[in-house]
């Protein structure tokens, strides 16, 4: 009516084997997750290093008009990709500090000229229209943030003396805190 020494040893040995297998599986899963996170981080960094955007002056334009609320101008900014392919559907923007939808120019006076943009290939540009801007010398800012966190900022004002728009462009990517 008792266990023999060899049966007790076998039960203890099998228990240790089960613990070892369980710990190995857990360690292997954690290692795989860490490796995947590291690979994602490297891909994001590589994407950020190669996100080179600029203003394509030849495809950008300005037009003026008169409406019920006074004189205004419309500004078309052509954003050119000089680096990696960018997924346009993940872009977001702020215009003078307010969040804007880039896919519909009617709701907030900022939007793409065409709705058939999906990918922006290197060397191509996408045209973004800002409409009904009051015709004065107020400085305006449009930030466009890409899917990987990088951004391009356009800052401009209308010079009423020269009847010209002066645009400054800057770009950047988020940095880590170490």
Query: What pLDDT is recorded for position 59?
Result: 92
The span from the CA of 11 to the CA of 52, in Å, is 63
Element (H, E) at 14: helix 5-49
Query: What pLDDT is recorded for position 176?
Result: 67
List the pLDDT tens digit at each of the 178 positions of the chain.
566 768 788 888 899 899 999 999 999 999 999 999 999 888 888 878 888 889 999 999 999 888 888 889 999 999 999 988 889 988 999 999 999 988 877 888 898 888 778 899 999 999 999 999 998 999 999 999 998 888 999 999 999 888 889 999 998 888 765 4
Query: What pLDDT is recorded for position 163?
Result: 85
156: number of Cβ within 10 Å? 20
- Classified as helix, coil or strand, 87 is strand
Query: What pLDDT is recorded for position 8?
Result: 80
CB of 169 closer than 8 Å to CB of 82:
no
Query: What pLDDT is recorded for position 178?
Result: 44
Each domain of the chain, given as residue ranges in start order, spans 1-49, 53-172
Query: What pLDDT is recorded for position 3?
Result: 61
- Output b/e per residue, 2-34; b: 16+ Cβ within 10 A: eeeeeeeeeeeeeeeeeeeeeeeeeeeeeeeee
């Amino acid at each position: 009516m008792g266990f023999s020494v060899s049966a007790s040893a076998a039960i203890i040995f099998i228990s240790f084997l089960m613990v070892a297998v369980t710990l190995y599986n857990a360690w292997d899963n954690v290692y795989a997750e860490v490796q995947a996170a590291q690979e994602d981080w490297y891909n994001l960094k590589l994407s950020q290093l190669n996100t080179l955007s600029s203003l394509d002056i030849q495809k950008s334009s300005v037009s003026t008009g008169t409406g019920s609320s006074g004189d205004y101008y419309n500004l078309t900014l052509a954003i050119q990709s000089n680096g990696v392919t960018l997924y346009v559907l993940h872009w977001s923007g702020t215009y003078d500090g307010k969040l804007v939808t880039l896919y519909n120019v009617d709701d907030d006076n900022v939007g793409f000229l065409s709705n058939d943009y999906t990918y922006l290939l290197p060397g191509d540009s996408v045209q973004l229209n800002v409409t009904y801007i009051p015709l004065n010398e107020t400085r305006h800012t449009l930030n466009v943030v890409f899917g990987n966190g990088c951004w391009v900022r356009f800052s401009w004002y209308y010079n009423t003396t020269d009847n010209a728009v002066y645009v400054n462009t800057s770009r950047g990517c988020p940095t880590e805190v170490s």
